[in-house]
Amino acid sequence: MNISEMKAALAGLSAVRFRLPDGTALPAHFHVTEVGLVSKHFVDCGGVERRETAANFQLWEAGDYDHRLAPQKFLSILKLSEKILGREDLDIEVEYQQATIGKFGLAFDGTEFQLTAKQTACLAQDACGIPAAPSFALPQLQMAGCTPGGGCC
């Protein structure tokens, strides 16, 4: 999800709710403690120089159980952040404290924002010698003696 999509979603809401990838709802008293610009300039394992830039939201909860962030207040925070983010329609990543700081993508299901799992990946698999994973259709596996639940794959 990018900034313009989030603004459009917030404009149609009466309450702001976030849900973790496992389905757990963030407490309704969460705060947006930071909106920032995150730039990453790096070299992948194949030697290719790369740059990534995203808007970063940090969500946090405190003991103020009566706190609620209204959609209009969230929109005003986004407006204030334009001096840092500029007007570029950046993708959004979200930080949320768990056992350690979790880093998530963001989606919207029409009523709630969904924190989505992010994964690492090799960006230069051809340079690393990582073989492509073989793919087999179920009939091929069954001919090889593999059956669902059989423990061979």
Which pLDDT band holds residue 130 (cuts at 50, 70, 90)? Answer: confident
Which pLDDT band holds residue 150 (cuts at 50, 70, 90)? Answer: low
Cα–chain center distance at 19: 11
Mean pLDDT of 14-25: 97
Q: What is the pLDDT of residues 77-103, one digit of tens each?
A: 999 999 999 989 999 999 999 889 999
Q: How confident is the model at residue 139, as a pLDDT?
A: 58
Give 134 or 78, the one with higher predicted confidence. Answer: 78
Q: How confident is the model at residue 138, as a pLDDT?
A: 61
- How would you write 62-95 as a 3-class SS string? CCCCCCCCCHHHHHHHHHHHHHHHCCCCCEEEEE
Does residue 35 carry a pLDDT above 60? Answer: yes
Which pLDDT band holds residue 128 (cuts at 50, 70, 90)? Answer: confident
| Whole-structure pTM value | 0.80
Q: Work out the burial of residue 115: count CB atoms within 10 Å of its CB; fewer than 13 is exposed, 13-18 middle, 19 or more buried.
A: buried
Mean pLDDT of 72-79: 96
Mean pLDDT of 106-124: 95
Instruction: Give 19's DSSP letter.
Output: E
